[in-house]
Amino acid sequence: MAKQKPTVPKGTRDFGPEQMAKRTYILDTIKSVYKKYGFQNLETPTMENLSVLTGKYGDEGDQLLFKVVNSGDYLKKVKQEDFEQGAKHMLPKISEKGLRYDLTVPFARYVVMNHGNLSFPFKRYQVQPVWRADRPQRGRYREFYQCDADVVGTDSLLCEAEILAMMGEALTNLKVTDHTIKLNNRKVLTGIAEAIGENGKESELCVAIDKLDKIGVEKVNLELTEQRGFTQEAVDQLAPIYEMSGTTEERIAKMKDFLASSEVGLKGLEELEEVFNYTSKLGVNTDKVEFDVTLARGLSYYTGAIFEVKVNNANMGSISGGGRYDNLTGVFGLEGMSGVGFSFGVDRIYDVLEELDLYPESAIETTKVMLTNFDNAGRDYSLPLLQQLRNAGISAELYPDNAKMKKQMNFANRKNIQYVVLAWEDEMSQGKYSLKNMETGEQEMLSGSEIVEKLRN
Amino acid sequence: MAKQKPTVPKGTRDFGPEQMAKRTYILDTIKSVYKKYGFQNLETPTMENLSVLTGKYGDEGDQLLFKVVNSGDYLKKVKQEDFEQGAKHMLPKISEKGLRYDLTVPFARYVVMNHGNLSFPFKRYQVQPVWRADRPQRGRYREFYQCDADVVGTDSLLCEAEILAMMGEALTNLKVTDHTIKLNNRKVLTGIAEAIGENGKESELCVAIDKLDKIGVEKVNLELTEQRGFTQEAVDQLAPIYEMSGTTEERIAKMKDFLASSEVGLKGLEELEEVFNYTSKLGVNTDKVEFDVTLARGLSYYTGAIFEVKVNNANMGSISGGGRYDNLTGVFGLEGMSGVGFSFGVDRIYDVLEELDLYPESAIETTKVMLTNFDNAGRDYSLPLLQQLRNAGISAELYPDNAKMKKQMNFANRKNIQYVVLAWEDEMSQGKYSLKNMETGEQEMLSGSEIVEKLRN
């Protein structure tokens, strides 16, 4: 009976053994940095009440939420007139839960629910999948992992400095050395709007400037004048912003002139200086950190620092980003909870490491050694060694069926197993085994304990 | 503006830092055993097509699937008459995807989809949450983790022996030493039905015997005669089964007599003997393995070995179980794929370790050392040490705000931080720091490099 081959839902993926090994390498590397800086792990449920999710991501976000049908008779609250009013009207009556859309809103919900029991400042990291009913395309999935770290309950700029250190350390550990960490401050953007006489229009300015990399200066300027109501005079004054160059100190000095008339702008520069002051006292190398006055990031909830990381020698957008927000939990009625956080894009980092061939051998290592199984005598002879290897902490397996040499060698090769143990009559008569290195092809006859000793190192 | 406190959906949970640390300890311990035996990690999507899930878990299971509303205008395929026919009829028209109900069906789906690219025997482990719209109650959740390991593509009984070894090793590593691993074989149960003259009724026999622990012999017998059509004569013959005792060898010998007339029953005993033969050759301790001829496990798809693990000194049902199945992927049109697997119940193991107080200190360790922050001078003096500690691989944090001693000490205590570094004028004038052990209260004055050296070990 031929059946149709099963499939996975559009925009979702299986991660087989090799992909999982590589993903685990990336996530473990990042998590170990988070932990070293005092961050603690949090996991929240896959499903959240829609009352928690809805209205947090804009109208478009609400539409991209995956909603879960209520259990049991999900139509019991639906009347004929509800049905007639259509899908959007009926939805709240048949669905109360949705899938997590990001890790920030569940984190805010967790902080509000556990406010009395948490010690602040609370440093948490969270590595879980999120779901968005986006149109799937290359590099954009409906299920993907986020990898967040946030500190809430303090406005100390030491946190910003530590984030710069963590970004650099994680990427260095992943051998992504040719990267740039861009840093800006939302207050500087506000100051720019003030300085060019367009007070209060920093959001419009940010949205346009955010496209600078993609569409270029001229089109950004056109967008500002034609769509966002900026005067030509104001836009003309932006030239030094677009042309900013020099060291961080030089850029800050130039911006102090530019923002001389803007209190908030100067405050932003002061914060930036304090962040650099902290990194310097910590002894963190900031060679790869660049004060980019045009860095805006579309998100309107940032109030202080803004971060973004790019890999210079890979064909990829930003692989990490974040910033400071003054009011994480206000939407749930808890005011004044300032925080700063950032996230690594795991899927993008995965692709970068593929492109630059940066996975270490150890990341894709599977079983260290396979024991062959040509006949029952050889198999029985090898079984004690199998468990001795494991007892020594060495991952080992015995091919479970009698099979031909070629089949077993192919198996070992495809599974990327480093060593193979063979036991023919010759070996058995000497109380030894042949150990074959699958990379070099070298083969030597050794006792069981010699093999254990050799593979342990 | 007072808002209602947000909540999580019924039957779901947040896992805060301490719970996550303990859960990670459990999962890492289990995963490292899986890996040492040559199993490789797989992850499948949270959502599966309902065509994959439906019909695999019985009618009750189908009802317990969480279904996801189709994106966009989910009513577009629904006509007035569909609506009138009610929830069950309408469901397939508004929902095509559901949440993963277990890890076995997605694994089978993965094997079928990737059949041509996998090397068999394929050993995979999978640790992911699953969802069931069950009525939540103590110890039963709507979102919970499963932790499966399976080998498919071989019927070698070495796999069964290795599963016994893995179960024992994982539990020993978790310090759950007082446990019993129960082993039986489905063919033995079939044989029993034959031997008592109720050929082909092993499913009914299994369902009843499965309740032995809960309801006792008399009620099982009543169920067999009154509800399941067994003759009194047949049931009377079960007495030696219920009263089985002695060593494994003795039990097997008694069963050989009992099953003398049943070919399949004797085959089951032969398989059991071969499994024990393998464990003995491997050198695996089987003191904690018990051949329990009444072990049935309700699942009808097992065809060979059946496993179950209980903790003797904890108030908890089975914490692990599994068995051999001859046809994992038949539902997806790929026949003849034999396999054997088992699963650990993470939530139950968590509770057992709590009850028996078995978490090691290291499992709940957070940041190793906190540097205090009483004033800017002390903070700036401590910053270089902070990063030196991290560079040496020691997790460290500095309290980010100037705050009173008591507040910072409380913070360190609540976060379970082992050491605190203090820097007052006295320390600074000597170029040293005070290092306080938070458990013993001991305090000593040391140089930065002495602290790094001390905490590194």
- CA-based nearest distance A392→chain B, Å: 10
Chain A partners within 8 Å of B80 (Cβ): 83
Which of A13, A50, A66, A157 to probe by mutation at the B interface, max B CB count within 10 Å? A66
Q: Which residue has the higher pLDDT, B302 or A15?
A: A15
- CA-based nearest distance A242→chain B, Å: 35
A95-109, B32-46, B135-149, B411-425: range with lowest mean pLDDT: B135-149
> Quick check: B6 and A283 CB within 8 A?
no
d(CA A309, CA A288) in angstroms, rounded, equals 10
Q: What is the ipTM of this complex?
A: 0.94
pLDDT band at residue B125 under the 50/70/90 scheme: very high
Is the backbone of residue B129 left (phi > 0), alpha (psi -120 to 50) or beta? Answer: beta
Per DSSP bridges, beta strands B320-325 and A443-446 are: unpaired
Which of A281, A410, A418 to probe by mutation at the B interface, max B CB count within 10 Å? A281
User: How much is the average pLDDT of B252-269?
Assistant: 97
Chain A partners within 8 Å of B75 (Cβ): 83, 86-87, 90
Is the backbone of residue A432 left (phi > 0), alpha (psi -120 to 50) or beta? Answer: beta
Q: What pLDDT shows up at residue A298? A: 66
Q: What pLDDT shows up at residue B1? A: 42
Residue tagged 């085959």 (tokens): B267
Nearest chain A residue to B391 by CA: give it. Answer: A36
> Quick check: A12 and B86 CB within 8 A?
no
- CA-based nearest distance A228→chain B, Å: 31
Instruction: Say if residue B95's pLDDT is above 50.
Output: yes
Domains annotated on chain A, with CATH: 17-46+101-356 (3.30.930.10), 48-99 (no CATH), 365-456 (3.40.50.800)
| Cross-strand pairs, B290 | B182
Give the count of beta carbons closer than 10 Å to the beta carbon of residue B401: 16
- CA-based nearest distance A129→chain B, Å: 9
Three-point CA angle B21, B22, B26, nearest 5°: 115
> Quick check: A46 and B131 CB within 8 A?
yes
A103-112, B207-216, B426-435: range with lowest mean pLDDT: B207-216
Query: What average pLDDT does chain B have?
Result: 95
Of A15, A393, A414, the CB nearest to B119: A414
Instruction: Say if residue B2's pLDDT is above 80.
Output: no
Q: What pLDDT shows up at residue B299? A: 59
Q: Helix axis angle, B17-36 relative to B346-355, nearest 10°?
A: 110
Summarize the annotated binding site of B as residue ranges: 102-104, 132, 146, 150, 297, 301-302
- CA-based nearest distance A399→chain B, Å: 8
Which of B19, B69, B388 to probe by mutation at the A interface, max A CB count within 10 Å? B69
| Cross-strand pairs, A342 | A149, A322
Nearest chain B residue to A84 by CA: give it. Answer: B80
> Quick check: B151 and A386 CB within 8 A?
no
> Quick check: B133 and A12 CB within 8 A?
no
- Residue A383 burial (C-beta neighbours within 10 Å; 0-12, 13-18, 19+): buried
- pLDDT tens for A168-213 read 999 999 999 999 999 999 999 999 999 999 998 988 898 898 888 8
Instruction: Say if residue A241's pLDDT is above 70.
Output: yes
Assess contact for B235 and B193: CB atoms under 8 A. no
pLDDT band at residue A1 under the 50/70/90 scheme: very low
> Quick check: B388 and A283 CB within 8 A?
yes
Instruction: Say if residue B216's pLDDT is above 50.
Output: yes
Q: What pLDDT shows up at residue A148? A: 98
Q: What pLDDT shows up at residue B175? A: 97
User: How much is the average pLDDT of B171-195?
Assistant: 96
Which of A395, A406, A413, A414 to probe by mutation at the B interface, max B CB count within 10 Å? A395
**3-state secondary structure (DSSP) of residue A116:** coil
Instruction: Say if residue A318's pLDDT is above 70.
Output: yes
CA-wise closest residue to A371 among A327, A338, A403: A403
> Quick check: A143 and B87 CB within 8 A?
no
Q: What pLDDT shows up at residue B143? A: 97
pLDDT band at residue A296 under the 50/70/90 scheme: confident
Instruction: Say if residue A413's pLDDT is above 90.
Output: yes
Of A2, A45, A370, the CB nearest to B13: A45
- Residue A129: asked if its preceding bond is cis (omega within 30°), the reply is no
Spell out the residues 6+ positions from residue A137 whose beta carbon is closer than 8 angstroms to its own. Answer: none
A203-212, A274-283, A316-325, B343-352: range with lowest mean pLDDT: A203-212
d(CA A320, CA A348) in angstroms, rounded, equals 9
Assess contact for B44 and B192: CB atoms under 8 A. no
Of B4, B68, B400, the CB nearest to A121: B400
Nearest chain B residue to A400 by CA: give it. Answer: B156
A46-55, A298-307, B372-381: range with lowest mean pLDDT: A298-307
Chain B partners within 8 Å of A341 (Cβ): none
Instruction: Say if residue B414's pLDDT is above 80.
Output: yes
Q: What pLDDT shows up at residue A299? A: 59
Summarize the annotated binding site of A for L-histidine as residue ranges: 102-104, 132, 146, 150, 297, 301-302
Read out DSSP for B153-166? Answer: S---THHHHHHHHH
pLDDT band at residue A457 under the 50/70/90 scheme: confident
> Quick check: A36 and B395 CB within 8 A?
yes
Per DSSP bridges, beta strands B289-291 and A67-69 are: unpaired
Instruction: Say if residue B138's pLDDT is above 90.
Output: no
> Quick check: A46 and B143 CB within 8 A?
yes
- CA-based nearest distance B252→chain A, Å: 23
Structure tokens at A450: 């010699």
- Residue A53 burial (C-beta neighbours within 10 Å; 0-12, 13-18, 19+): buried
DSSP A339: E
CA-wise closest residue to B378 among B408, B417, B419: B408
- CA-based nearest distance B229→chain A, Å: 34
d(CA A156, CA A178) in angstroms, rounded, equals 29
Chain B partners within 8 Å of A80 (Cβ): 83
Q: Which residue has the higher pLDDT, A296 or B174?
A: B174
Summarize the annotated binding site of B for L-histidine as residue ranges: 102-104, 132, 146, 150, 297, 301-302
User: How much is the average pLDDT of A342-369?
Assistant: 94
Chain A partners within 8 Å of B401 (Cβ): 121, 154, 156
Query: What average pLDDT does chain A have?
Result: 95
User: How much is the average pLDDT of A220-248?
Assistant: 94
